[in-house]
Each structure stands twice: as C-alpha cells, then as structure tokens.
Amino acid sequence: MTISDDISSGWKSTDGKRPPVFLLASAAVVAIAALIPVAYLFARSINAGSDWIDIVWRPSTAAVFGRTFLLIAFVTVISVVVAVPLAWLTVRSNIPLRRVLSVASVLPLVMPSFVMATTVIEMYSPRGVLQGWLSGLGVERLPEIYGLGGATLVLVLMTYPYVLLTVRGALRRMDPALEEAARAMGYGPVHTFRVVTLPMLRPAIASGSLLVALYTLSDFGGVALLRYQTFTSTIMIQYESSIDRTLAAVLSLILVAIAVLLLLGEGFTRGRGAYHRSTVGAVRVSQRVDLGRWRWAGATAVGITVLIGLVIPVGVLIQWLVRGLLNDQELLPLLVPARNSLYISLLASVATVLAALPIAILVVRFQSRLSRFFERAIYIGFGLPGVVVALSLVFFGINVARPLYQSIWLLIFAFVVLFLPASVGALRSSLLQVNPRVEEAAQSLGRSQWKVIFSVTVPLVMPGALAGGAMVFLLTMKELPATLILSPIGYRTLSSSIWSAASEAFFAKTAAAALLLVLVAGVPTAYLTLRGHNDGSDQSDRIDEPDMESPSETVEVT
C-alpha cells in the first residue's frame, strides 16, 4: 500500500501515472552521465580565461572555419543530389534488380572513412589505377586528389546513404492519395513530383542532410588522409602535438557550437507546414512508376553509384590483399586487434542498450517534463563529434576519474554517450508498438511494475534492442578519433591499427584488416537494412528503417 502524495507533481506523467522509482533513478544516472562531457568541457574552457578570445579570433581559426564550412556545404549538397533520385528509383520505379540495388546502395555505410579514403587515393589520384586505364585514352593527368575535391568525394560516398535512407522512409510512408489528387487535378507526373512529392520530402531531406553535415563536421580519418584540414583534424593535431590542451578544449567548444548551429538550422527548414498524413487508417502502397525503356537507364544510374561507393573500394582492398599474399608482403597482425574491436564493440552495444532502456521506457510510457528533460540530455551525444567527447573525457579521467583513465572503460563510456541516441531511437520505436494494455494485464496478474518490465516489456522490445545494439556495434567498429584518444596505450583495435598504417601511407598493409572490418561491420548493417526491407512483415509498414528516419532517432559520429 502506498500513500499517495502530490508533492512531486513535476514527476507525474501527463496521464497521471507515476514511474517507478528505480526507473527514474536509473534514467537520472544515465542522463547525468551523458551530460558530463559537455559540462566538463565548459569548466575546462572557462579556466582558459582570456586566451579563449585570442584563440577564437586568430586568423588560422577563421581559415579552418571556412574550410570546414565549404566541405560541409559541398558534401551535403552533392549527397542530396545523388540520394534523392536514387531513393525514388529504388522505391517508386520499376527498375530491374530493384531489391538487390536497393540494399546494395545503402551498404557504403559500412566503410570507415579512413578505409574509403585509402581506396579513393589508390583509385583516383594522378598516379592511381584510373589514370592507368585512362592514359590509353589520351588523358594526360587526373586532377590532384588531395584537398577539397578528394575529401568531398570520400565523404559523399560514405554519407549519401543517410539521405537515401531518410528519403526512402518518407517515400514509403507518403500517402499516395496526395499524388493521385494532384494527378486528378491535371498535373503531369513531373509537375506532380515538383509541387507535391518534393515538398513532402523536405523534412526527410533536411534530417538526412543534417546527418551528413554532422558526419562531415566530425570526420577525422577521411579528411586527414586527404590532407584537408577541418576543425576536427585541427583539434586532433593540437591534441597530439602540444602539452597544453586548453587550445584543443576551446576549439572543441567551437565545434560544439557549430554542431548546435547545424541542429538549429535543420529545425528551421521544417517551417510551419504539417508533413504527416492528415488522415488515419491503413496506408496504401504507392504504385511503382513504369519507366518503360528508361528503366535500364535507372538501374544503371543506381548501379554506377554502387560501383563507385562499394564495389571499387572493396575491389581495391581485395586486390591489395591478393597482391600482398602472392608477394608475401607484410600484413598487419589481425588477431589481437580484431579481438579487441569485437570485445569493445560488444561491450559498447550492451552498455548502450542497457543505458537506453530506462530512458526509452520513461519517454514512451511516462511522459512528463522530467522525462523530456532526460531525453534531451541524452541527445547531446547526437550533436557531439567523437573527438570532443573523447577530449573532454581525457580531462575528466585525469582530473576526476583517475582509476578509469587509460582503461577501456572510459572508452566504453565515450561510446555510450555518443551512441545513446541511436539506441534510444530504436528502442522507442519498438516500444511504441507494444500495447500498454499488455503491461497492465501483467500487472493485474500479480507482477509488480518492476517485474512487468522484465517479464513483458523487455522481451517485447527485443527487436528494437537488437537493432539499436547492431547500430551501436557498427558505429563502434568504425569509430576513430575517440578510439585513438581514449584507448589505453598499446591497446590496438582494427580501426586504430588500420589508421596508424594508413597515416604512414602503408595502404596495402591495411588490406586484410580493412576487409575484415568492412565485413564485420557489414553484418549489422545488412541486418538493419534487410529489416527495413522485409516488406511482408507487419512491422515494416510502421517502422521503415526506424534507426535512420529522423535526426532525433539516430546518430553517426566517427
């Protein structure tokens, strides 16, 4: 028997239900932990005193600023231009091999940026493979690969899948009646696409673009190999080269500010229109447009993207591996880094999903001001580049949590903070499908709220937990800056050992490790993609690629 009291009305959810104390407590711990990096970074930068302003107004800071924005703009625009037609072709047209191409076009997602960068350099540099083929055709010399051009190419290849996935989700959910109404009013197909379809896709394009921009902002490996200096790579260089890390901390705060700006910008593009369907009831599936003779051209367009983004990079890696094995060249040791990578990624997945669970349950089942605050607190990780979280945790580890410093636990902690939004998003969409009456039924059968969560809620959100876990696993495998900064000395993972060989231009040595990484990261990606494509299952209508739909549900920072 409990005595009811209304003292803590702020804790009460909007439908009057009060969450169990253990749920609130664990969610509070997670939310506070997620806030540590930013809070600590602030504290550290304030200590810098007046140096602060000097650093911000330095001409070199402005130059880095300009370069970063230029890259973000290029990558975002080109990704959208590539991804929107691809999304339409793979969802709404009758191109041949549609299903295969549809999965394959997402798979460049598994390539870590530093691996993609090595293959791009090998392939497209003035002394690369392509030049070799083209010289027979009279092409004297390909343009320089290092710099803005190469960095843009690498990042576009890796990030267009974000826009592709969000736009595809929106196309699938769109009520076909809207387009049909326009057609019935006498608009032609092209005109209809422009005045109805495209505006409806705007939020999806915006949130996909946001992912692309944030990724570009936080990428380290790709831009560093292509010798294009952005904020993130500047911070890494500062961190590695100087004893005083105040500069790195201040630059990190600027990076956070840019991320926040991008987030706000995305919200701004949404405007005031409503984009969801205005009616309830089952969604009909749009008919696929018959492209006639043009369907082969459509398939070719998608195919070329897959070729450049997936087949060629993997092909280059395989060629390096074969050549290395034939010539008995030295390859990176695989066993220990692979084991470490797996271990860390599994730990990070489990820890992140466990941390996400109380937040997701609280947000879905007990909506209140407090639960909204928790949700926002954990979304901080979404905008934070890995390098920032890692740096802040270094300071935190040295000054506050000394026993954790130089242990893998600080690294795991960083991954949890970074990838919490992704797994909360997956869990939340899964939880939204669980009828709350089922939980009540369990409670009326004599189980306490606590036991209901474990005997009913958790088993029912298992698909979401698996999807979230798979997502975190993939992201952890690929992650570079946090891994470099926070790994204990001598602790090698696949990504850090590939990086150290690649940064010294021993590309061929990385082949086996890179292939392994792509393969291992490919498994969860294939799982996530196929889950979204499983048209027959009753879940797919409601949660198409739930982990990628909106920025509030996903994260990707490497």
Minimum CB separation from another protein for residue 443, in Å?
5
Helix (H) / strand (E) containing 36: helix 21-47
Per-residue binding string, another protein, 383-422, x by CB under 8 A, is: ----------------------------------------
Residue with tokens 């304030």: 46
Instruction: Assess contact for 63 and 497: CB atoms under 8 A.
Output: no
Query: CB under 8 A: which stretch of 69-77, 165-173, 452-460, 504-512 binds another protein?
Result: 452-460
Q: Establish if 435 lies at the interface with another protein (CB under 8 A).
A: yes
What is the Cα–Cα distance from 535 to 514, expressed in whole angstroms?
32
Q: Which of 61, 252, 449, 483: binder of another protein (CB under 8 A)?
A: 449
Residue 459 engages another protein in binding (rule: CB under 8 A): yes
Q: How far is the CB of 431 from another protein (least distance, A)?
A: 14
Burial class (CB in 10 A: 0-12, 13-18, 19+), 282: exposed
282 touches another protein by CB under 8 A: no
| Residue 483 tokens, joined | 């891994």
**H-run or E-run covering 374:** helix 369-383
- By beta-carbon proximity to another protein, the closer residue of 17 and 202 is 17
Q: Is 456 in the site for another protein (CB under 8 A)?
A: yes
Q: How far apart are CA 485 and CA 496, in angstroms?
A: 10
Does 7 engage in binding with another protein (CB under 8 A)? no
* Helical residues (DSSP H) of 433-510, grouped into ranges: 436-444, 449-452, 458-460, 462-478, 481-486, 494-502
Q: How many angstroms separate the Cα of 247 from the Cα of each of 49, 53, 69, 236, 405?
A: 11, 11, 20, 11, 21
201 binds another protein per the rule CB under 8 A: no
Question: Does the footprint of another protein cover residue 16 (CB under 8 A)?
Answer: yes
CA dihedral 10, 12, 16, 21 (to 10 degrees): -170
Tell me: does residue 364 bind another protein (CB under 8 A): no
What are 214's two structure tokens? 């944030």
The set of residues, in sequence order, having a beta carbon less than 8 Å from that of 447 and lying 6+ positions away, is: 455, 456
Q: Is the Cβ of residue 407 or residue 539 nearer to another protein in the bound state?
A: 539
Q: Minimal distance in Å, beta carbon 448 to another protein?
A: 5
Q: Is 447 in the site for another protein (CB under 8 A)?
A: yes
Identity of the residue, 2 or 279, whose beta carbon is nearer to another protein in the bound complex: 2
Residue 11 contacts another protein per CB under 8 A:
no
State the burial class of residue 287 (Cβ atoms within 10 Å of its Cβ: 0-12, 13-18, 19+).
Answer: exposed
Name the minimum Å distance from CB 538 to another protein.
9
Question: Least distance in Å: CB of 53 to another protein?
Answer: 48
Whether residue 396 contacts residue 40, with contact meaning beta carbons closer than 8 Å, is answered with yes
Minimal distance, residue 427 CB to another protein, in Å: 16
CB of 428 to another protein, least distance (A): 18
535 binds another protein (CB under 8 A): no
Considering only 400, 438, 505, 530, the residue that binds another protein (CB under 8 A) is 438
Q: Using an 8 Å Cβ cutoff, are 423 and 390 in contact?
A: no
Interaction of residue 530 with another protein, rule CB under 8 A: no
Among 268, 437, 490, 536, binds another protein (CB under 8 A): 437
Instruction: Determine, following the binding rule CB under 8 A, whether residue 445 of this chain makes contact with another protein.
Output: yes
What binding mask, one character per residue, do residues 126-165 give for another protein by CB under 8 A, x or -? ----------------------------------------
The reply to whether 460 sits near another protein by the rule CB under 8 A is yes
- Compute the distance between CA of residue 167 and CA of residue 255 in angstroms, rounded to an integer: 27
Q: Which is nearer to another protein, 15 or 54 (CB)?
A: 15
**213: nearest Cα among 261, 144, 177:** 261
CA distances from 97 to 104, 109, 299, 302, 551 (A): 11, 20, 7, 10, 30
What's the closest the beta carbon of residue 529 comes to another protein, in angstroms? 25
The binder of another protein chosen from 26, 367, 455, 540 (CB under 8 A) = 455
Question: By the 8 A CB rule, do 105 and 90 touch?
Answer: yes
Cβ pair 181, 97 in contact under 8 A: no
Asked if 67 contacts 228 with a C-beta cutoff of 8 angstroms, the reply is: yes
Q: Count Cα atoms within 13 angstroms, Cβ side, for 351.
A: 22
Residue 300 lies near another protein (rule: CB under 8 A): no
Cβ-based nearer residue to another protein, 32 or 445? 445
In the complex, minimum distance from the CB of residue 5 to another protein, in angstroms, rounded to a whole number: 9
Answer for which of 2, 241, 278, 279 binds another protein (CB under 8 A) is 2
Q: Which stretch binds another protein (CB under 8 A): 300-308, 341-349, 451-459, 482-490?
A: 451-459
432 near 386, Cβ under 8 Å? no
Query: Which phi and psi angles does 77 have, rounded to 5°?
Result: -60, -45
Binding residues (CB under 8 A) for another protein: these are 1-4, 12, 14-16, 435, 437-438, 440-449, 452, 455-456, 459-460, 462
